[in-house]
Amino acid sequence: MADTTSTTGGFDAVDVIRTKRDGGRLSDAAIDWVIDAYTRGTVADEQMSALAMAILLNGMDRAEIARWTAAMVASGERLDFSDLRRDGRPLPTVDKHSTGGVGDKITLPLGPLVAAFGVAVPQLSGRGLGHTGGTLDKLEAIPGWRAGMSNDALRAQLRDVGAVVAAAGSGLAPADAKLYALRDVTGTVEAIPLIASSIMSKKIAEGTGALVLDVKVGSGAFMKTVDDARELARTMVDLGADAGTRTVALLTDMDTPLGLTAGNALEVAEAVEVLAGGGPSDVVELTLALAREMLDAAGLPDADPAAALADGRAMDVWRRMIAGQGGDPDAPLPVAAETDTVLAPATGVLTGLDALAVGVAAWRLGAGRARKEDPVQAGAGVTLHAKPGDRVTAGQPLLTLHTDTPDAFGRAREALADAVAIEAGDGPTSGDREPGLDRSIVLERVARP
C-alpha cells in the first residue's frame, strides 16, 4: 500500500483532513495536492472519505469551492468548442444540467428545440441511479441509439445538426468520477460544496460557452428545501462565473413527478409528444422556460421557442439528432410485458402525488438501478392518469405500473402506499381541475447581478 502519510509536495493527507476537521480553510496548494494525489491513488479512499465528511460538516468558503472545482477540471482533459463554425459563422454553445428528478425528460425535447435556432447544444449526460432517471437510459430505449461518441464525432454532429446527447468520456474530470463513487457509499452525497463542484467541474471541462441549471427542489429531488436548493444554485452560478462560463439557474418544483410518465421508453414517447406540439402542460412550461434562458445566454433573447415546437423545426432536429447517433426515430418503442393498475381510493380532489414514491416505484419496476452496473428495463415505469388539482372518482385508474417482471408489482405498490392524497368529497366530473392547486413549475431564478 502506498505511503499516504508522506509529505509529498509538502503535504500529507492527515494534516489536510485535520485542517478541515477543525474548521480551518484549505489553501489552494493543499487542494491542488489532495485532488491530484487522490486521482493518482496516493491518497487512500478512507482518507478522502474522512475529508469529504469534514467538508460536509464544516463546509467550504467560495474560494475553496472554486479552487476544488478547478483542481477537478485540471485532473483530466478539457473540450473546446470555441472554433465551431457553420456556413462560416461561429456557433454559440450552451448546455443545460438538471440536478435530477422523477419524470424529468426535459433534456430530450430541449436540446433539439434550442438547436433549431442555430445554437450548438452539447449535452454530456449520465445514467440513472436510484429513484432519479438517467437521460442516457431513456434514449437507449430507442432502437439503435448509442450514447458513446468520439470527440470528433461529437463535434461533427454539433456542427451539422446542432444537438447531441452523449455519455461523458472518462477523460473529463476523472477526479470527480472517483470521488462521486466514494461519496455515494460514505454518506457525503449531500455536501453542497461537493455537489456543486461535481456538477460544475464536468460542465466546465465540457467547454460550453454558457450553462443553464435546473435545480430541483422537493420530495423527489436531492434538495428538499428551497433554502438548500437556492444555496446550491448560487454556489454553482458563482463557480460558472469564476470559470468564465455564463451561468444561470432555475429552481423548479419536484414534489410531483414531471409530466405523466416515469420510465425510459415511456418518457421518450412523452418527449416526442412535446416536440410534436402537444404533451403535458408542466413539461411544456419547463421546456420553454429553460429554452428561453438558453437562447438568451446564446445571444438570442428575442427567439420564440414555442414557435419552433408549433411549426415542426424542433422535431426535425430531434429526428436528425437521433439518426445521427444510430437510432431510428420511427421505430416502435419497447413496451413492458405486464401492467398493473392502481385505483383511486376515494372521490374528490387529488391534492398530492409524491414524486419520491413514484420514483422509487419506477425504480423497483425495473426503470432504474441500485448500482451503476445494473441493467434497466426499457419499458418499465409508471404512467400517471391524474395530477394534483384533478378531480377523481373512487375506482378510476390513478396509476399504471409497467414491468417485464410482475413479481415487482408488490414492492412498487408498497412504495406508493402513502403517495396519494385525496381531499374526499362529491365534486364535479372526474378530470375537472381545482384551480387553487395550479402553480408554476419554476419557483425562482438565480443569476449573477
Tens place of pLDDT per residue across the chain (449 aa) = 333 344 456 788 999 999 999 999 999 999 999 999 999 999 999 999 999 999 999 999 999 999 999 999 999 999 989 889 988 899 999 999 999 899 999 999 999 999 999 999 999 887 766 677 789 999 999 999 999 999 899 999 999 999 999 988 778 889 988 898 888 788 888 899 999 999 999 999 999 999 999 999 999 998 999 999 999 999 999 999 989 999 999 999 999 999 999 999 999 999 999 999 999 999 999 999 999 999 999 999 999 999 999 999 999 999 999 999 999 999 999 999 999 999 999 999 999 999 999 999 999 999 987 776 778 999 999 999 999 999 999 999 999 999 999 999 999 999 999 999 999 865 444 446 555 456 789 999 999 87
* Cα–Cα distance list, 186 to 4, 50, 52, 228 (Å): 20, 9, 9, 20
Work out the burial of residue 10: count CB atoms within 10 Å of its CB; fewer than 13 is exposed, 13-18 middle, 19 or more buried: exposed
Ramachandran assignment for 148, one of left (phi > 0), alpha (psi -120 to 50 degrees), beta (any other): beta
Instruction: Find where cell 402506499 sits.
Output: 417
Cα–Cα distance, 184 to 190 (Å, whole number): 9
Asked whether the beta carbons of 348 and 422 are under 8 A apart, the reply is yes
**In this predicted structure, what is the pLDDT of residue 3?**
39
**In this predicted structure, what is the pLDDT of residue 129?**
63
Does the CA dihedral 230-235-239-242 come out positive or negative? Answer: positive
Residues in the chain: 449
Neighbours of 42 (CB within 10 A): 18
**In this predicted structure, what is the pLDDT of residue 437?**
56
Assigned fold of 85-331+442-447: Pyrimidine Nucleoside Phosphorylase; Chain A, domain 2 (3.40.1030)
- Evaluate whether 8-59 and 338-435 have a shared fold: no
Work out the burial of residue 224: count CB atoms within 10 Å of its CB; fewer than 13 is exposed, 13-18 middle, 19 or more buried: middle
pLDDT tens digits for 31-81? 999 999 999 999 999 999 999 999 999 999 999 999 999 999 999 999 989
Which class does domain 8-59 fall in?
A: mainly alpha
DSSP 8-state assignment for residue 130:
T
Cα–Cα distance, 15 to 27 (Å, whole number): 12
C-alpha cell of 446? 438565480
**In this predicted structure, what is the pLDDT of residue 372?**
67
C-alpha cell of 37? 494525489
**In this predicted structure, what is the pLDDT of residue 447?**
96
Instruction: Find where cell 458563482 sits.
Output: 238
**In this predicted structure, what is the pLDDT of residue 4?**
39
The Cβ-side half-sphere exposure at 76, using a 13 Å CA radius, reads: 24
DSSP 8-state assignment for residue 406:
G
pLDDT tens digits for 194-225? 999 999 999 999 999 999 999 999 999 989 99
Cα–Cα distance, 408 to 414 (Å, whole number): 10
Query: 164 φ, ψ to 5°?
Result: -150, 140
Instruction: Find where cell 419499458 sits.
Output: 379
Pairing verdict, β 442-447 and 246-253: antiparallel
C-alpha cell of 290? 429553460
**In this predicted structure, what is the pLDDT of residue 70?**
95
| Residues tagged active-site | 97, 176, 183, 198, 202
Spell out a b/e string for 183-217, using b for 16 or more CB atoms within 10 Å of the CB, else e: beebebeebbbbbbbbbbbbbbbbbbbbbbbbbbb
Give the long-range contacts of residues 184-190, CB within 8 A, separation 24 or more.
Answer: 184/129, 186/49, 186/52, 186/53, 187/53, 187/56, 188/49, 188/52, 188/53, 188/55, 188/56, 189/222, 190/56, 190/222
Q: Where are the domains of the chain?
A: 8-59, 85-331+442-447, 338-435
In CATH, what is the architecture of 338-435? Alpha-Beta Complex (3.90)
Alpha helices in 147-304 (DSSP H): 151-160, 174-184, 192-206, 226-242, 264-275, 281-297
Cα–Cα distance, 253 to 352 (Å, whole number): 13
pLDDT tens digits for 89-112? 999 999 999 998 999 999 999 999
